[in-house]
């Protein structure tokens, strides 16, 4: 089976070419309290930030795909990725000098309820790779075997979910969305039994492991767990470590952390979270399971599980079958859920501050920043310099956006195609027939109800008149819109096609898809098929419209 490599970066000068040259640091393990036990027995881990755990070897590791752009950023030459000895590391069959594998201890609120201890149940950190440029990036294997936090799980992952995480991590990065990354996708040569929809129909599937990367995988739940147990000393040590290494501007060398430091850190987390979620909304991404244990304190998209991409525009859509009843994590509520999660983080660090006033200011800053960034994002998507007018102004730009959302919801309309087509109209003279024809490519219903067509035409005319008042040159407007509105996203059915092909031994669809998704804002006419609407077969298919935390 050939390897599916993402398009190469032109030059690899100065990169690591030999395994023995790689340098790793273990500062998370070295600086923070450790679990005294070193076995994999499932247990409550008290007073510790991590547990030592070695990945469980697999039978027949095979590299299926890797990201050459990320490898180059990490200082890893292509030959190193093809080295069987390094593939063994990526599969959890070998540990290099300097690595001290561990699983992190954390808790979390899941679907609004405190779930107690959770922790890395199938993820094992290898340590921080020190790149040739001196940067530090944590490598983490997802699906590398059981840990003390696995509860009833086996610590493994299947090819289906692993490919989805590998592909989406890299796709989001190239879209400009803050995210963890994925270096490699390795199959294990072993089967894993999963009940995909938790409906009593388990089956064996090919096992796989993803090597994820990030400056840190610390999440809100890492801090919540210690407050829930009254372990404020451990909380303070973890927070000091976090700020010193990942927010160094807040704690200059030689200074001592205090309540003001913690408040400034929380405000920074609020701002980063706002930016992340606004990007999700811009590109039509739905995380699907925004529990506090899935929220990065670095403002990175983390834990790609039952995520989905909006096809027909629907603010109430969620891809997660577990969330089908309440739709807590639906597309249009992601900003509010992030605020709720931040409030849980504020409660977690509150014991370290004399009062909650500064934390309340941080939450207010989130609301303000989210609103500012969302207005900026929507203005860019519509080709406007800025959204003008108050929220309650019936003739202002917020009303223009609200009417657009209502119009898109009236008949199933593909979000990605609509906004991309709208950008093309930015350089065209208004003509009712041709403009409706352009928008028609985004409609899933044909013919569309006459009332819906009339409403869309009225909105297009209103948008055209608003653009004219902006006074911008049409070409500049279109360029601004095309930079905000991707043509290519990891549509659910495209991911499923790649999964089906990879399972059958064909990696060419994954390779092509990953190459195209490196340039999501470019036209790439030779790959027009990958920008097409969701086909009818995918409308209700499991893996396309319905997913679970096993996905």
Q: Which two tokens stand for residue 77?
A: 């030459």
Task: List Cβ neighbours of 369 (8 Å cut-off, separation of 6 or more).
Answer: 270, 271, 274, 275
Question: In angstroms, rounded to a whole number, what is the distance separating the alpha carbons of residues 335 and 337?
Answer: 6
- Grouping H, G, I as helix, E, B as strand and the rest as coil, residue 529 is helix
Q: End-to-end distance of the chain based on CA atoms, in angstroms? A: 24
**DSSP string covering 8-36, please?**
PPS--TT-B-SGGG-EEE-HHHHHS-B-S
Distance (Å, whole) CA 39 – CA 51: 9
Select from 177, 183, 273 the least CA-distant residue to 521: 177
Spatial neighbors of 273 by CB under 8 A, at least 6 apart, are: 295, 299, 338, 341, 342, 366
Q: Would you state the structure tokens that stand for residue 250, as one six-digit string?
A: 């807040």
Cα 355 from chain centroid?
A: 33
Q: What is the DSSP string of 188-199?
A: EEEEEEE-TTSS
The burial class, CB within 10 Å (0-12 / 13-18 / 19+), for 267 is buried
Contacts of residue 271, defined as CB under 8 A and 6 or more positions apart, other chains included, come to 299, 365, 366, 369
Total number of residues shown for the chain: 551
| Cα–Cα distance measured from residue 87 to residue 60, given in angstroms and rounded to the nearest whole number | 11
**Coil, helix or strand for 541?**
coil
Burial category of 38 from C-beta neighbours within 10 Å (exposed 0-12, middle 13-18, buried 19 and up): exposed
Asked about 446 being catalytic, the answer comes back as no
Q: H-helix or E-strand containing 55? A: none
Asked if 551 and 160 count as a contact pair (C-beta separation under 8 A), the reply is: yes
Q: Of residues 35, 120, 293, 311, which has the active-site annotation?
A: 293
Nearest to 71 by CA among 83, 80, 59: 80
Count CB neighbours of 515 within 10 A. Answer: 15
CB 379 within 8 A of CB 386: yes
d(CA 101, CA 53): 6
Q: Of 293, 291, 297, whose CA–CA distance to 239 is shortest?
A: 297
Instruction: Go through 101-117 and write b for each residue having 16 or more CB atoms within 10 A of its CB, e for each that does not.
Output: bbbbbbbbbbeeeeeeb
* Nearest C-alpha neighbor of 366 from the set 289, 269, 260, 443: 269
Written in H, E and C, the secondary structure of 246-275 is HCHHHCCCCCCCCHHHHHHHHHHHHHHHHH
| Omega prior to 244 cis, within 30 of 0 | no
Which of 157, 162, 150 has its CA nearest to residue 499? Answer: 162
State the catalytic residues. Answer: 293
């Amino acid at each position: 089976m050939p390897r599916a490599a993402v398009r190469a970066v032109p030059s690899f000068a100065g990169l690591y070419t030999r395994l023995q040259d790689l340098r790793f640091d273990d500062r998370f393990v070295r600086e923070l309290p450790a679990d005294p036990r070193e076995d994999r027995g499932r247990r409550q881990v008290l007073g510790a930030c991590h547990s030592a755990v070695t990945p469980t070897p697999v039978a027949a590791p095979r590299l299926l795909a890797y990201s050459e752009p990320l490898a180059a950023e990490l200082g890893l030459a292509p030959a190193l990725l093809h080295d069987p000895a390094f593939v063994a590391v990526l599969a959890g069959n070998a540990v290099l000098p300097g690595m001290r594998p561990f699983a992190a201890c954390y808790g979390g609120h899941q679907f609004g309820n405190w779930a107690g201890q959770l922790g890395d149940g199938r993820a094992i950190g290898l340590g921080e790779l020190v790149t040739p440029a001196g940067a530090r990036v944590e490598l983490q294997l997802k699906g590398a075997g059981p840990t003390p936090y696995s509860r009833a799980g086996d610590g493994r992952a299947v090819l289906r979910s692993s490919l989805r995480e590998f592909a989406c991590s890299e796709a989001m990065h190239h879209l400009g969305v803050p995210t963890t990354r994925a270096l490699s996708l390795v199959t294990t040569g072993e089967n894993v039994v999963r009940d995909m929809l938790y409906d009593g129909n388990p089956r064996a599937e090919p096992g796989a492991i993803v090597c994820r990367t990030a400056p840190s995988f610390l999440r809100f739940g890492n801090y919540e767990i210690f407050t829930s147990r009254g372990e404020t000393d451990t909380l303070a040590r973890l927070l000091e470590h976090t700020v010193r290494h990942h927010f160094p501007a807040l704690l200059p060398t030689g200074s001592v952390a205090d309540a003001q430091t913690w408040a400034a850190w929380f405000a920074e987390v609020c701002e980063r979270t706002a930016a992340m979620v606004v990007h999700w909304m811009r590109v039509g991404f739905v995380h699907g399971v925004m529990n506090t244990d899935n929220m990065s304190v670095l403002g990175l998209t983390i834990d790609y599980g039952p995520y989905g991409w909006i096809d027909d525009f629907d603010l109430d859509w969620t891809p997660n079958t577990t969330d089908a009843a309440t739709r807590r994590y639906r597309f249009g509520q992601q900003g509010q859920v992030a605020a709720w999660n931040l409030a849980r983080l504020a409660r977690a660090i509150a014991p370290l501050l004399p009062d909650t006033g500064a934390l309340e200011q941080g939450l207010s800053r989130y609301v303000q920043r989210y609103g500012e960034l969302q207005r900026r994002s929507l203005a860019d998507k519509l080709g406007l310099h800025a959204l003008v007018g108050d929220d309650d102004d019936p003739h202002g730009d917020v009303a223009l956006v609200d009417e657009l959302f209502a119009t898109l919801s009236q008949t199933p309309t593909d979000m990605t195609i609509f906004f991309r087509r709208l950008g093309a109209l930015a350089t065209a003279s208004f003509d009712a027939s041709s403009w409706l024809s352009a928008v028609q490519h985004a409609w899933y219903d044909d013919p569309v109800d006459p009332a819906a067509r009339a409403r869309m035409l009225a909105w297009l005319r209103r948008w055209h008149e608003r653009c004219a008042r902006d006074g911008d040159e049409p070409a500049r407007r279109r360029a601004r819109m095309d930079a905000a509105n991707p043509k290519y996203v990891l549509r659910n059915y495209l991911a499923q096609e790649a999964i089906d092909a990879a399972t059958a031994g064909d990696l060419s669809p994954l390779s092509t898809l990953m190459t195209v998704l490196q340039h999501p804002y470019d036209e790439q006419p030779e790959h027009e098929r990958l920008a097409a609407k969701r086909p009818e077969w995918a409308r209700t298919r499991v893996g396309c419209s319905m997913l679970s935390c096993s996905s």
